[in-house]
Structure 1
């Protein structure tokens, strides 16, 4: 690693620190109540604004990756930072608009926020991978670490930024605007420091995207890796959104909210421990071992159905399911396709976004027990795919290097 790239890496990680707030803020009950009161709608209607973030991701990911490979990581990251600033400051403007179109303004801004997320993913994931090229899994898990830290701080940020409007409504516009300004600053800073892909362009002509695709052979292993982006996302998303309901209806736990604390603790600890383990163990091994751990835990919870197992399950799924597994999958894909890192990152994230939309939509009409069974099936498929990739990985890497 060249130390001259460290400031660039910090700028990119700070983008995800603020993203941790941006992607979580609409899920907070106090935010929902505040926005709903301003717009004169039911609080559950705010869920549609959150869904618009996923819509924006799906719209942008197909072309965000190729643009990152063609125009460079700096441009992709800058587009993401600027778009996220529009999203966050737009939420403040939407709140102020009240019943005069505030809801629609927020919806449009959320779509822009999803687009921003796509450009950040396809710009920053490959960039930090290129900066910390000796430890690609550590580099990509650093993204998750910065997100997790900001999400832990979010309750405190809500407390210090809340204010009352002239009508007596609680407003969190200070948080929205503050984060938006932060993104505007990062937009400027990203142009002031060097990046590896830009230096490579300066030393020689870089192969274009179409030429790279012509020389790239997509195989069953690569398809399996992309599908794992779907299954590993399903494991922690279904747990995060539905496990507390299962704890109430099946485990007899009246107030299982503490599960979120165990889940977050597992995620943060996993990021630290896994980043150390990846120095000794190949990244690809984790895409088999971690889903297998999740599968075993889900089956135990389904059979045991008691509060103690639910608490343990929250920690284990936070560790093995959400503690950087998606980032490791992205890292392994980048190793398999070194010439089109942005594009392959986009493919994994498209699979992840499709999972968010399809599985959670299906889960909304199912019982908690049925959701748990669905999670077991999805995770089991992920284990089989991870086994296949591990068996074929050595041969695939030899072909890639050749």
Structure 2
């Protein structure tokens, strides 16, 4: 919205970078003086964590978690960079209107943070959020490709922001750290390193596709969202096979899915 306002009023676009930069410095200075709680895990909290029933597999849930992070990052990265151009080319939106899709995207990511901050406390585990969000992003990317219009592009940007950018990467790291609790630093490093690699590779791929047709960039976004969904489902299934869910856990679907998956495992 800020960029659109400056564009319509012939204001230098550089203010759109300078103002957030100043805010970033001020917030950083505030954080330097802030006090944070101890990093030691309380014993009562540790007892609530599920115990392992079997050894996690690096080649399966480890690799799947990393691929999930790369795919989720790529899903929202493509939308942030290319949605305005796609909206202008296929939805007939003006430049100012197309830029508003990024504002809707940002609003979606903020809404997701608040909603899942509440849900993840007692109602659902992060693995449920990852499956739900990646499925939502997959469906949305398909709709954006099949039915481009101003409404679809604006709503689609909001939903992609909600489902792919609202903390889903952090949830992926959280789940992976549960599988490999003794290697949290290594897990986070690998996860973020692969995200950095995607940040380098994706612009090269999308730049090439833009010369062929902008619609193929949305197809690529759908592919990334689908990959995130597939890997999220793999991690979801493995989670309930690796961990023993506490009897007093009343979160949505916990015992139903863990019991069903373990029954299938024993039958096999």
Assess same fold via TM > 0.5: yes
- Helix, strand or coil: the match of 2:99? coil
Equivalent position to 1:267, from 104, 109, 129: 109
CA distance in 2, matches of 1:217, 1:356: 27
Structure 2 residue 19 is matched with structure 1 residue 158: yes
Encode CA deviations 1:34-76: one digit per residue, 9 max, x unaligned: 9xxxxxxxxxxxxxxxxxxxxxxxxxxxxxxxxxxxxxxxxxx
**RMSD (Å) for aligned C-alpha atoms:** 2.9
CA distance in 2, matches of 1:194, 1:246: 45
Deviation at 1:382, TM superposition (A): 1.2
Deviation at 1:182, TM superposition (A): 6.3
Residue 392 of structure 1 corresponds to 238
Residue 13 of structure 2 corresponds to 30
* Structure 1 residues 340 and 378: CA distance shift in structure 2, 3 A: same
CA distance in 2, matches of 1:193, 1:272: 21
Residue 124 of structure 2 corresponds to 281
Residue 379 of structure 1 corresponds to 225
* Structure 1 residues 198 and 392: CA distance shift in structure 2, 3 A: closer
Encode CA deviations 1:345-388: one digit per residue, 9 max, x unaligned: 11111121111111122112222211111111111111111111
* Structure 1 residues 393 and 258: CA distance shift in structure 2, 3 A: same
CA distance in 1, matches of 2:31, 2:216: 44
CA distance in 1, matches of 2:167, 2:77: 13
Deviation at 1:272, TM superposition (A): 0.4
Structure 2 residue 86 is matched with structure 1 residue 246: yes
TM-score by length of 1: 0.49
- Helix, strand or coil: the match of 1:30? coil
Residue 216 of structure 2 corresponds to 370
Equivalent position to 1:257, from 92, 99, 105: 99
Runs of 4+ aligned residues of structure 1 deviating over 3 Å after TM superposition are 181-187, 192-195, 197-200
Aligned residues: 216
CA distance in 1, matches of 2:29, 2:234: 44
Flag structure 1 segments of 5+ consecutive residues without an equivalent.
1-28, 35-153, 160-171, 201-214
- Helix, strand or coil: the match of 2:94? coil
Deviation at 1:236, TM superposition (A): 0.3
Encode CA deviations 1:171-229: one digit per residue, 9 max, x unaligned: x8xx39x82x8646755x58x877335999xxxxxxxxxxxxxx986241111001111
Residue 350 of structure 1 corresponds to 193
TM-score by length of 2: 0.72
CA distance in 1, matches of 2:109, 2:242: 30
Residue 317 of structure 1 corresponds to 160
CA distance in 1, matches of 2:145, 2:100: 19
Question: Does the CA-based 8 Å contact 2:56-2:242 persist in structure 1?
Answer: no
CA distance in 1, matches of 2:56, 2:29: 37
CA distance in 2, matches of 1:266, 1:225: 24
